[in-house]
Structure 1
Amino acid sequence: MSYREFNAFCAALPATTHVVQWGGAHVWKVGGKVFAIGGWQRGSHPGITFKVSDIGWEMLRDAPGCRPAPYLASRGMKWIQNHEPGLGKRELKQYLKASHALVAAGLSKKKRAELMLSE
C-alpha cells in the first residue's frame, strides 16, 4: 500500500484528522488519538503501524512482514508495524478500520457524540 492509498483510505474513515510529524510520518487520528502511522519507508511502500486487539496482537506479532511497533509495543501497547511483504491491501485495510474502531471506542461518550461516532 502506497502513502497515497494509505492516506486516501484513512481519510475516508469517520472523524479523522491527518498530520505529518515525527520526521515525516503520516499520522492519522480520531478524536485527537492516533490510530495509524505511515512511515519508515522500506522499498516502495511505507511501514504502516496500527493498534490491534489482543487477538490481533497474538496473530500478527510474529507474522511475516509484521512486527511489534517500535516504541509503542516496547511500552506495553498492542501496536503492529506492517512492511513489505506483509499483509495484503484488503487485510491491511481491515486492520486499519479495526484500529480506528478500537481508538474511537476508547474516547469518552461525550467526545464520540461530538464526532458523531456510533457506539
Structure 2
Amino acid sequence: MNIERLRELCLGFPAVTEDIKWGHDLCFSVGAKMFAVTGVDGPFTVSFKVTPEQFEELTAREGIVPAPYMARNFWVLAEDPNQLSAAEWEHYVRQSYELVKSKLTKKLQKELNLL
C-alpha cells in the first residue's frame, strides 16, 4: 500500500471526499465523517476504524498500534504498511468506510445516494 493506492481505493467508494486536516493529514470521509487518515509528510502510515474484535487482533501485530486520540473509537494506526497484505488493506479500508457509513443518519445516507 502507498498513498496513491490508498487514494484510488478510498475515492472509489460512493460519496467520498478527501481533504487536508490539521495542516498535514489527508483525510477520507463519507458524510463528513472520517474513515481513513494518512499523513502527507513523513513515512507512510494509515489510521482506520475497525471492529472491537479486530482492534485487539490487529494491535497485537507488530507495526500496528492504537491510533492516537481515536483508539477509544476502535481506530488503529498501521505504522508499517507491510504488516497487511493487499487483500487485507482492501478489506479493512472498505470495512472502515462501511462502519462509518452505517452510523450516518438515514436522511444523510439518502441525500448522498447511499441507500
Cα distance in 1 for partners of 2:78, 2:2 equals: 12
Q: 2:77 aligns with which of 66, 81, 88?
A: 81
Structure 1 counterpart of 2:56? 58
- The AA in structure 2 aligned to 1:58 is E
Number of residue pairs matched by the alignment = 113
Cα distance in 2 for partners of 1:13, 1:57 equals: 23
Unaligned runs of 5+ in 1: none
> Alpha carbons of 1:94 and 1:72: their partners in 2 closer, same or farther (altered >3 Å)?
same
Deviation at 1:89, TM superposition (A): 2.1
Cα distance in 2 for partners of 1:65, 1:13 equals: 27
Structure 2 counterpart of 1:98? 95
List structure 1 segments (4+ residues) > 4 angstroms apart after TM superposition.
Answer: none
Alignment of structure 1 residues 4-15 onto 2, 5 Å: 4-15=4-15
Deviation at 1:28, TM superposition (A): 0.3
Cα distance in 2 for partners of 1:86, 1:21 equals: 26
Identity %, equivalent residues? 33
Unaligned runs of 5+ in 2: none
Deviation at 1:59, TM superposition (A): 1.2
Decide which moves more: 13-22 or 97-106: 13-22
| Residue 23 of structure 1 pairs with residue 19 of structure 2 | no
- The structure whose residues are more often strand, as a share, is 1
Decide which moves more: 84-93 or 24-33: 84-93
TM superposition score normalised by structure 2 = 0.91
Aligned residue for 1:81, secondary structure, equals: strand
